[in-house]
Each structure stands twice: as structure tokens, then as C-alpha cells.
Amino acid sequence: MLDTFMLSRIQFAANISFHILFPTITIAMCWFLCYFKVRFDLSGHPMWMRAYRFWVKVFALTFALGVVSGITMSFQFGTNWPGFMETVGNIAGPLLGYEVLTAFFLEATFLGVMLFGMGRVPNKVHTFSTFMVAIGTSLSAFWILALNSWMQTPTGFEMRDGVAHATDWWAIIFNPSFPYRLTHMLIASGLTASFFIAGLSAYRLLKGDEKKAPRVALKTALVVAAILAPTQAFVGDLHGLNTLEHQPQKIAAIEGVWHTEKGAPLVLFGIPDEEQQTTHYAIEIPKMASLILTHEWDGELQGLNEFEGNHPPVAPMFFGFRIMVGVGMLMIAASWLGCWFWWRKRELPSWMYRGLIAMTFSGWIATLAGWYVTEIGRQPWLVTGVLTTADAVTTVPNTSVATSLALYLTLYTVLIIAYLRTLLVMSNRAIELEEYQSPTATAIQSSAINAEAKA
Amino acid sequence: MSEAQWLPIVFVGLMGLAVLLYAILDGYDLGVGILLPNDNEQQRDTMIASIGPFWDANETWLVLAIGLLLIAFPEAHSEVMRELYLPTAIMLAGLILRGVAFDFRAKVALENKRMWDHIFRAGSLITSLSQGYMLGMYVMGFEYTAEAIGFSILSALGVTAAYAYIGAAWLVMKTEGELQVRAAKWGRRCGWTCLAGIIAVCAVNPLVNPAVFEKWFTFPFVVAMGMIPITCLAMFAIVDRVLKKVPLPDDFGCWLPFVCAVIIFVLCFQGLAFSFYPYIVPGKIDIWQAASAPESLMFILYGAVIVVPVILAYTAFSYRVFWGKATELKYY
């Protein structure tokens, strides 16, 4: 059987991969909800309320999965990686603490008012609560990415007796890779939520839902995606340059640069072979990697040969990065095409609806691929230059870890199936609702809206 | 007193507050989950509606408590988590199941709703049992002997009964009619089990831990420690009398059982906390040995001093919004 170290790594990867699926939707989706709610407050048009009402239910379900899988995460450090807190606890602890104090309580408490409080509080307070939840989810991303970025590019500390001590909190939070990683992740969440909303709305429209709500939701999501997708390519490039400066071995693995060279080609695709230190069947654009990363045709790129024994495994980095970029390109194309059709014809051809349905969870693929690149790319370190992953692992017997891992995997499989099925049930149910006739909400309609609001 | 001396005391106090609030708050919603009846869907709906707006924030106190242990006492955190590895995993599975069942039950097709109700109850039960088991193991100093395991199983049942007790008291306060009468009946039954559990822990704890024995039975502490069981007993008696009379005319004093249950929780927690202080891992690691660096604790303390009152304020706001009897659970 695998040893405690490998099992713990797999367990951590499984837990965090499952967890990220849900926040990556909810962080941005809550801002969509704010938008729907504000549009309703301003116009009084029931279609905005309809859109809010449908998506807030999806939000509640997704958020619940995020919360419970997040609780698991908070226990992982202690159960499987005690060396992490023992070595860098003085820094990681306060960052996690601030996440709980400023973000978790805010979102959890106002979520109650947002979901169930509409009839009980003035409308303004309800809109305010929606904003508080959105701020909470985004703050949570702020703190956890501050910690993750610090693990990638640690600054603002000194080592005393093998334990990290904070010297400058500003430098710890705003460490060199943090602004890039935070922006990259927030936009990733925006894209994930956009394609998620677009996909489910397209499904409803294709199934003959003729109400206005799915149409405005689809339009909003397409416009947001069309803006964010190219922005993400630009931010991603900046993030890459930042990584080149601070973690060149990561870039070397991503690009498959085996030996330091000038005018390195951009490998579009190939099969990296770590043993023979070469990429088979490589399709290359000459000098392009050097141009992108150094902005010079003959710029020098450090190769993996300079980081022997100290660089991440090449294959997952190489493929993960290409999957992420590929999905990103697809997102640019799909969102622009969708917007063009909408602008010209006020609707999409049915093949386009099908395409968007197929891309409902494209954000998950890109996000996971991107996180695998950045996290595997830090190996063999847990905290770059400070603590290796192998040194942080627990002494718990491997049978215990195997048991807990089996438990989690079973649970996650069941839950993901239940989640997807429930989304389908909710969408089908929404299709069958009747449309409101009048363009503005009246008192009678408000009560009709409430009557249908039963969870 | 230097920072390195008083900061750990402040943080163990904060952590204690988080644990206590968690036990009370998630205690009642876990209890409601455990009590879900098989035979009445409408009652299940009302019961779950009564905890709907709160459960998420309630669970956050657990994240804060475990977070504070991690932040302020990393060494103790590692030790405790290593010893309780499997019970922790099982508890997390329980928490996951009930958290999602809550949402799934409201959104799936009707024929599946019953299944999610079962999962909700099972998840609540698994969570309570494993928390009680962990408490027992903690009191016994993580020994894997037959007596320790036996005691921990007893503690698991005791904690589960206590959660069901406060859950029933919550229902008496938040519901009316037939369900309220039913909840009162559940509450009385759980009350006696709970009392037996507390007496058992009180008897065993000083016997297995000589340090605890010494602390409890020296003057002036013996007076204070004597007060705890006497007050608890009085509370149980009051609650039992009130529950016997439910439904009360004009619903007078429907909140009394819940308040008394909270007092019982506070007193029991006080008793346990007093027994072990200043140890964070009983008999092994004290709070000063386990504490993080003072500069890190100061950094988080600044934030906590500002943020914790704000959290308490908006928690109070949320309870005010959903004041009164639970109504049908509607989105908006």
C-alpha cells in the first residue's frame, strides 16, 4: 500500500479539488445576484426577481457544499500536515484566523437573511445582506490566496530555531505573487460562474423556456464572460512573468525547457519525457516562448537542468497548463461569438445553445488545471525554500489515512452526482413556471412571487 | 506580566468562548436533526425551518474554535488531531452529510426528500456521537484502554443526549401546537439521560485524573465545584416542570427551558475548563508550552478585538430578524 506521505497528498488533493469546485462558482455568482437584485430594485421588473430567485437557490446549494467541504479543509492541516503549522504556524495561523473572523461569519450570518429574510426585513436590508455575502466570499478568497501566495513566494519573516517568525505583516500579505494570483483567481471565478449561468440558462431556453428571466441571465453571463475572458489572458500572462521572476523552475516545467537556451521555442503540444529529458512529438513555434516570457526573440530561458532535484514533475505541469490555456481560448471564442449572435439576432442558434451547455462546467476544468499547475509547481516544497512537503507530513499510520481517504472519496462521488442531478431537477422545474404578464411588479404579483418561492 | 505570559491566557479564553458557543449553537441544531420524527413530514419541515437561517453560522464557531487552536496552540493542535484522527474524519463526514442534506431535501424531487431527511438525521447523529467520543478521549488523556474507550462511548451518548435536550428546548421555544407538545416530551426524556451523563463524567473525571481530583477537592474550589452540580440539578428540575406543563397558557415561559439548557451547558463547560486549565492537552502540554510567537498572537488579537464584537452584533441581528415562532421555510 502507499505510504502515509503519498496517501496524505492524495487526500489533500482530493479534499481541496472537491472544495474549490464550489467557492469558484459562489465567489462570483454572489456578485451576479447583487446585480440582479439591484436591477430589480431600480426597475421593479419581475424578470430580475425571477432571475434572482432561481439563482439564489442554486447559490444556496452550491454554497452549502462549499461550507461543508471547507470545514474538512480546516482540519486537514492538523490531521495530516502537523509540520506545516509547527514550522510556519506563526504566519499561516493569523492569515487563516482573519479569514474566519472577517469572511466566514459575515457570509454565513448574512446568508440566512439573504435566503430566508426577504419577507422579514425591509427590501434595502435584504439587498444589503446580499452585498455582505458577496463581500464575505471575496474576502475569504483574499485571505486564503494571501496564505497560498506566501507559501509560493514567502517574504516578511525570519527563521528562529527552525520556526518562521513574522517580521513584516504587510510584506507577508502583499508578497510578490499575491496581487497576480488573487486577480487571476477572482477572474477565474467570474468566468466559472459566467459559463455556469450561461450553460444552465441555455439548457432552459433550448428546452423551450420562453420566460424573460433565463434570457437576461444568459445575456448578463455572456457579456461578463466576453469581458473577463480576454482580461484573464492578459492577467495570466502577467502572472506568468511574475512566476518566471520568482519560481523559474515552474516555468521551465510548464514550457518543457529541458536545457537553458536562448530563443526557446513555444511548445504547443508534445509528450514530455522526464527520463530522457526531451519532449516527443513536439509541435513548436520557434523563439516564441522567449518572446512571450522575456519580450526578446533571443531571450534566455533557464532550463530544468539548472534545478536538478529541485523542480516539480514535468508532465502534470506541461499538460495542466495547456488544458487551462486551451479552455481559456475556448471561453474567449464562445463568449464573443455568443455576444455577436445576441447583438445581431437577439437569440442564439441552437448549436450555440448546445455548445454553451457543453461548457457549463468548463470553468471547473480550467480552475482545477490551473491550481494543479501552481501547486504541483511548488513541489518538492510546501513553503518555497522553507519547508518541504515530505517534512510536514503526519506520523499517523497509513491504514488510518487510507480509511479516511476512502471515506472522503465515497462521499465526494455521491455528492457530486447528487449536486448535478439536483441542478437538473431545479432547471426542469423552473422551465415549467408561468411567466408574469405585466412588465412591472404589483402588490398582487409580489404575493404570487412569494407563493412560488417555497424552497 | 509579559506578553508571552498573558497572551496564551487570552487566547485560551477566546478559544473556550468559541467552543462553548459552538456547543450551544450547533448543539441545538444538531439536536433538532437527531430528533427528526419518522412519521410526520410537516413536523420535519417545521423543525428544519426553525434552524434554517442559523445552522451555517453556527458551524462557523467550530471552524473558529479549531482555527484558534491551530493559530494559538499549533503544537497542541497537532497532538490532538493525531490522536483523534479517525473520529475527526467520521465527524467531518457527518457534518458534510447533514450540511448538504439540508439543502438537497428542499430542492430534489419529492420521492427523494425522505431519503435526505434520513441522511440529515444520520449526519446529525454521527456528528454528535463522534464529538462526544472525542470529548471522552480528551478527558481520558488519549489512552486506548478498555476503560477509556468505554468511558468515551458513554460520553458520546451523553453529549448526544445533551444536544437532543437543548434541541428539544429550542423547539419548545420556536414552535407551537402538536409539535411543541411532542418536543416537550422528547426534552423530558433527554433531560434525564443527560443528567445521568453529567453525573458519570463528574464521577469519573477526578478519579482518572489525580490533578483534577486535587483541584476539585481543595478549599475554596470545592465550594465552587459543588455549586455546579447543585445548580445544574435545579435547572433540570425547573425545565422538567415547565416541559410537563406544555402547552402553557399564552405560551408563557416557552423560552425558559432553552435558557436553562444554555445555563447547564455553560456550567458544565466551566467545570471541564476549570478541571484542565492550564493544560491544553490534559497532563501533557500546557498553554504556554503550546503557544505561538507573541508577535503573531498580537497581530490576530488586534483583529479579534475589533471583529468579534461585530460578529456578535450581526449574529444578534440575525436572531432578531428570525425572532418568534418558526414559519414555513421560504426563499425570500
The domain locations on chain B are: 3-321
B74, B93, B107 member nearest A426 (Cβ): B107
- Does residue A232 lie within any of the structural domains? no
Chain A residues in contact with B312 by the CB 8 A cut-off are none
Instruction: Give contacts of A102 with chain B, Cβ < 8 Å.
Output: 303, 307
Q: Which of B70, B100, B318 sits opposite A64 (nearest CB)?
A: B100
Give the residues across from A159 on adjacent strands.
A164
User: Which pLDDT band, with edges at 50, 70 and 90, does B330 fall under?
Assistant: low
For the segment B31-69, what is each residue's pLDDT rounded down to a tens digit?
999 999 988 888 888 898 888 888 888 888 888 888 888
Compare CB distances from B93 to A57, A85, A411 and report the shortest one's residue: A411
Best of A18, A73, A75, A172 to mutate (most B CBs within 10 Å, chain B): A75
CB-CB under 8 Å, A79 with B332: no
Which residues on adjacent β-strands are paired with residue A269? A283
Q: Between B66, B103, B299, which is nearest A166 by CB?
A: B299
Residue A109 in domain: yes
CA dihedral (A178, B305, A92, A238) in degrees, to 10, reads 0
**Chain B nearest C-alpha distance from A188 (Å):** 25
Q: From the list A72, A111, A400, which residue is nearest B86 (CB)?
A: A400
Contact (CB<8Å) A110/B318: yes
A164 interaction partners in chain B (CB closer than 8 Å)? none
Contact pairs from chain A to chain B, CB under 8 Å = 234
Select from B68, B79, B96 the residue whose CB has the most chain A CBs within 10 Å, as the one to mutate to test that interface: B96
Max CA distance (Å), chain A: 74
pLDDT, tens digit, 9 for 90 and up, residues B157-208: 989 999 999 999 999 888 888 888 888 889 888 888 888 888 887 788 778 7
Distance from CA of A309 to the nearest CA of B (A): 30
Identify whether the C-beta of residue A61 lies closer than 8 Å to the C-beta of residue B104.
yes
Taking the Cβ of residue A61 and every Cβ of chain B, the question of whether any pair is shorter than 8 Å is answered with yes
Query: What residue type is A355 in one-letter code?
Result: G
Report CB contact under 8 Å: A407, B95: no
What 3-state DSSP class applies to A170?
Answer: helix
Find the closest chain A residue to B64 by CA distance. A100
CA distances from A356 to A89, A201, A204, A337 (A): 44, 9, 12, 11
Q: In this complex, which of A70, A396, A453 lies closest to B330 when CB atoms are compared?
A: A453
Helices (H), A22-102: 23-43, 46-80, 82-98
User: Digits of tens for pLDDT over chain A (455 positions)?
Assistant: 888 899 999 999 999 999 999 999 999 999 999 999 999 988 888 888 889 989 999 999 999 899 888 888 878 888 888 888 888 988 998 898 888 888 888 888 888 888 888 878 888 889 999 999 999 999 999 999 999 999 999 999 999 888 898 889 999 999 999 999 999 999 999 999 999 999 999 999 998 888 888 999 999 999 999 999 999 999 998 898 888 888 888 888 888 888 888 888 888 888 888 888 888 888 888 888 888 888 888 888 888 888 887 888 888 999 999 999 999 999 999 999 999 998 988 888 889 999 999 999 999 999 999 999 999 999 889 998 889 898 888 888 888 899 999 999 999 999 999 999 989 988 888 888 877 655 444 444 454 454 444 43
C-alpha distance from B320 to closest chain A C-alpha (Å)? 10
For helices B85-107 and B74-83, give the axis angle rounded to 10 degrees.
Answer: 80
The parent domain of residue A198 ranges over: 12-227+315-452
Asked if A344 reaches chain B (Cβ–Cβ under 8 Å), the answer is no
**Which comes out higher in pLDDT, residue B30 or B103?**
B30
Inter-chain CB proximity B311 and A101 less than 8 Å? yes
The nearest alpha carbon in chain A to B61 belongs to A105
CB contact under 8 A, B332 and A453: yes
Best residue in A19, A104, A417 to probe B by mutation, most B CBs within 10 Å?
A: A104
Q: Which residues contact B86 (CB under 8 A, 6 or more apart)?
A: A400, A403, A404
Min distance A239 CA to chain B CA atoms (Å): 29
Q: Does the residue A327 lie in any domain?
A: yes
Q: What is the pLDDT of residue A137?
A: 93
Q: How far apart are CA B120 and CA B125, in angstroms?
A: 9
Query: In which band, very low, low, confident or very high, does the pLDDT at B328 lie, cut at 50, 70 and 90?
Result: low
pLDDT(B128) > 90: yes
A91 to chain B: closest CA residue: B296
Considering the domain B3-321 in this protein, what is its CATH number?
1.20.1630
**Residue A251: inside a domain, yes or no?**
no
Name the helix (H) or strand (E) containing A340. helix A314-345
For A:372-431, CB contacts with B below 8 A are 394-396, 400-401, 403-404, 407-408, 411, 415, 418, 421-422, 425-426
* pLDDT (mean) for B285-299: 84
Angle separating helix axes A314-345 and A248-255, nearest 10 degrees: 70
Q: What is the pLDDT of residue A71?
A: 84
Q: In whole angstroms, what is the distance from residue A348 CA to residue A350 CA?
A: 6
Read off the pTM.
Answer: 0.87
**Structural domain contains residue A365:** yes
- Establish if A188 belongs to a structural domain: yes
Look at chain A and report how many structural domains it folds into: 1
| Residue A119: closest C-alpha in chain B | B332
Residue B283, SS3? coil
In b/e form, how buried is each residue of A304-331, taking b as 16+ CB within 10 angstroms? beebeeebbebebbbbbbbbbbebbebb
Chain B interface includes A268 (CB < 8 A): no
Mutation target among B296, B307, B312 for the A interface, most CBs of A within 10 A? B296
> Which of B70, B130, B131 to mutate to test binding with chain A, by most A CBs within 10 Å of its CB?
B70
Give me the pLDDT at residue A283, please. Answer: 87
Any B CB within 8 A of A108 CB: yes
What 3-state DSSP class applies to A270? Answer: strand
And the C-alpha cell for A195? 459559463
Peptide bond just before A179 cis, omega within 30 deg? no
- What pLDDT is stored for residue A441 in this prediction? 46
Q: How many CB atoms lie within 10 A of CB B109?
A: 11
